[in-house]
Every structure is written in structure tokens, then in C-alpha cells.
Amino acid sequence: MSDRVLTQPALADLAAVPATSRWVSSGPVRLHALDYGGDGVPVLVIPGITTPAIGMDFVARELTDLVRPIVLDVRGRGFSDDGAGYALEDYAADTEAVIAGLGLDRPLLLGHSMGARIAAFTAAKSATAPRGTILVDPPMSGPGRGPYPTTLAAFQDQLRQARRGTDADEVAASWPHWPRREQELRARWLASCGDEAVAATHRGFESEDFFDFWPAVPGPSVLVHGGDSPVVTAGGAAEAARANAAARLVEVPDAGHMVFWDNPRVALGTLREILRELI
């Protein structure tokens, strides 16, 4: 039995989202995405470990005059099915299934955190290179490296809190600087993320080395990181620059790992500038 929960208040949030639900099959896994439409270059947006698609609505809706954002509910989150596995190979297969199933012509890949690792792995391994990749604060942990800064126990506590019922005020205790709407969405949608999806992905952060595939990510590629991020440290950014000299690194000041949530104005402005260069 699934441990995931979607309540009526959460479903009602979709009424305010200017996007259309799209469905694609990746083998037996049914995947859901929010398609913001338009005739622009498609940008497939891949969220982080505990962020369903609606959690990046505030990012996607700021880009619709430039591109066609499509935000994925990654397997085990939101409306997408659970999967038998949550390795990077599984996530990359889903990403390619969405690109093929929606007929996206060489989309840009935009990922945050877990999603940035997925985007990088897909770009490095796919037979068809994307138009470009934008990786926002990808976890650089892996074998022989430091642990991912947020423990699995902390994620599990957050999931239990969400399932017993939480609200924006309680979320604000952990994320005080987030916009209020994003605190509210976090409170209502975190319970849609599965325990095994989160646990397996967290294990992958420490068993699958970002630097094993990052050097093979083709250009154009931009790595965006928070200036105060504990995930992409100054040392990690320097190593990333050495490992893939063709990539461009961009720092967002006054932002931690949750770059868009921590400093929305600057982060979204930076993203728009990058997209203008890539489309």
C-alpha cells in the first residue's frame, strides 16, 4: 500500500496553476507533468528530492514569455507512479520517455538539486543531446566525498510531519524566508512524496558520484549555485569548473541550496538571462 497522500486542499491548488496535465508512460510507470504551453523552446523542468511539480510553479510561470516550461512530477512524487527503482538510470529513462512521449524537439533540461543530477546524467548518457542544460545546485556528494548535508532522518521527519497534517506556519519554522505561497504548497504537497523514493534517492546522493558523469555533459551547460549553499560549496564549484571546463558557473548571492525559494527575485532574473542566451 502506498504511503503517499494527496488531500482535497492540495488538489484544489491546481485550479490556480496555468498549466495542463500531461501523461506519459515510462515502461510500467505513469508519469505526470505540468505543461505551461506556448510555442517557445521546450524546457523540461526536473524538481528536487521532495518537490512535486507544483512546487516549481512559481518558477515555471515566470518563464512562459520566453519558453514552454514542462515541469515533471518525478516518479514517486506528485501524481506520478512509484517505481521499482530510483537510480539515476531509472530517472534518466523517465526523462527520455517524457521527451519522446510529448514530442519535445531537443528541449533544454533545467533541474534543481536531485533534478539537476538527473538532467546532467540524462544529457551525458542520452544518444540525443539536449539543446542545453541548466543545473541548479546539484548534490556533489558521492563515494569518498562528504555526506549530503541533509540527513535521511531529517527528510523522514518532514514526511511524517506532512502526513499527520501540517501548515505553512510549521513549514516556516524550517524555511522562514520562503515566500508564503511556497510554504503553503510545501505543507499541502510534501505528503505526495513516497518514503522509498526519498530514501533510495538519498542513498544515491552518496553512492552515485556526480563527477562520474558531469565531465561528459555536453555544452552549452550552466551550473547555477547558491552563494551560501552547503551542497555546492566553493570547493565543489571549483572542482566542477575544472572537471567540465566548457560549462559556465553562475553564483546566486544570498541563497542557500533552495536557490529559487531563498532569493526568488535574483534567482529568477538570473535564470531568465541564461535562457535568453540558450534559446
How is the chain split among helix, strand and coil, in percent rounded to 5? 45, 15, 40
> Cell numbers at residue 278, please?
540558450
Residue 183 one-letter amino acid = Q
Residue 227 one-letter amino acid = G
Q: What is the pLDDT of residue 84?
A: 97
Q: What is the pLDDT of residue 146?
A: 86
Handedness of CA 179, 43, 132, 109 (dihedral sign): positive
What CATH number has the domain spanning 8-278? 3.40.50.1820
Q: What is the pLDDT of residue 127?
A: 82
Q: What is the pLDDT of residue 129?
A: 84
> Cell numbers at residue 263, please?
532569493
Is the pTM higher than 0.95? The answer reads yes
Query: Which DSSP symbol is given to 213?
Result: H
Place of cell 501548515: 167
Query: Which DSSP symbol is given to 62?
Result: T
Measured CA to CA, the distance from residue 148 to residue 151 in angstroms comes to 7
CA neighbours closer than 13 Å in the CB half-sphere of residue 256: 10
Which H or E run includes 276?
Answer: helix 264-278
Q: What is the pLDDT of residue 128?
A: 82
Q: Which residues of 193-224 are buried (b: 16+ CB within 10 A; e: fewer)?
A: bbbebbebbbebbbebebeebbeebeebbbbb
What is the distance of C-alpha 8 from the center of its chain?
A: 24
Residue 251 one-letter amino acid = E
* Tens-binned pLDDT, residue by residue, of the chain (279 aa): 578 999 999 999 999 999 999 999 999 999 999 999 999 999 999 999 999 999 999 999 999 999 999 999 999 999 999 999 999 999 999 999 999 999 999 999 999 999 999 999 999 998 888 999 999 999 998 899 889 999 999 999 999 999 999 999 999 998 999 999 999 999 999 999 999 999 999 999 999 999 999 999 999 999 999 999 999 999 999 999 999 999 999 999 999 999 999 999 999 999 999 999 999
Q: Which residues of 49-87 are buried (b: 16+ CB within 10 A; e: fewer)?
A: bbbbbbbbbbbbebbeebbbbbbbbbbbbbbbbbbeebb
What is the distance of C-alpha 143 from the center of its chain?
A: 22
Measured CA to CA, the distance from residue 13 to residue 6 in angstroms comes to 11
Q: For residue 220, is the peptide bond before it cis, meaning its omega torsion is within 30 degrees of 0?
A: yes
**For strand 132-136 and strand 108-112, is the pairing parallel, antiparallel, or unpaired?**
parallel
